[in-house]
Chain A
Amino acid sequence: AQSVAQPEDQVNVAEGNPLTVKCTYSVSGNPYLFWYVQYPNRGLQFLLKYITGDNLVKGSYGFEAEFNKSQTSFHLKKPSALVSDSALYFCAVNYGGATNKLIFGTGTLLAVQP
């Protein structure tokens, strides 16, 4: 079955330190992988995506993610966290073809302490 897993409900990091939010996906065809961020009482904001090509993808606000096919992972990273990065982060997968829907992970709450 197609699924996405975010093993951490919450990640805590000090401002200025690097951050990683983990995501793994089930293997089925060639997945398109996405990261979205949700601030309180706001919609989902697109950060970055992997379709094909270079395994390291750069996105908005200094975020990047690395696609690892052997580990079926797509972890979100940022070299230096900001307090304003504190939000709920969702990993999502789209298997393309006739299935257009995004399947979301359960979300990871990122808390950046000043």
Chain B
Amino acid sequence: AAGVIQSPRHLIKEKRETATLKCYPIPRHDTVYWYQQGPGQDPQFLISFYEKMQSDKGSIPDRFSAQQFSDYHSELNMSSLELGDSALYFCASSLGPGQTQYFGPGTRLTVL
């Protein structure tokens, strides 16, 4: 069965650079979520979208923005990167809000 696709899988950036993470949900899933998992930590919710509109917002820094496009894929844009942004970034999708979330493999971001 098709799963959530995330690209790139690994990304290395310098401080103050920008990064764009992409997420392609499971076909027919209309809801996308972004989570950040620091080393040895549990995933923390960043933001979610339902039908291309922001549906919920968590602890997402102002330096980050995200959107969901007409084909339901989503992009997380991160600017002015800091060392503390180094983490695994997961995207999840569901068939409607509040339904079971299926996670992608994650993008490992390293900020040097």
Contacts and interface: CB of A to CB of B under 8 A. Distances in A.
Given A94-B98, A100-B50, A100-B55, A43 B45 contact: no
B24 interface: no
A100 B101 CA distance: 10
A44 B43 contact: yes
Given A100-B50, A102-B45, A49 B100 contact: yes
Interface string B1-39: 000100000000000000000000000000101010000
Contacts of A17: none
Contacts of B35: 102
A43 B106 contact: yes
Contacts of B100: 34, 46, 49
B8 to A, nearest CB: 14
A5 to B, nearest CB: 11
B56 A43 contact: no
In order of increasing CB-CB distance, the 3 nearest A-B pairs are: A101-B45, A104-B42, A44-B103
Given A46-B103, A100-B56, A100-B94, 12 more contacts: A34-B100, A43-B106, A46-B101, A97-B98, A98-B55, A100-B48, A100-B50, A101-B45, A101-B56, A102-B101, A103-B45, A106-B41
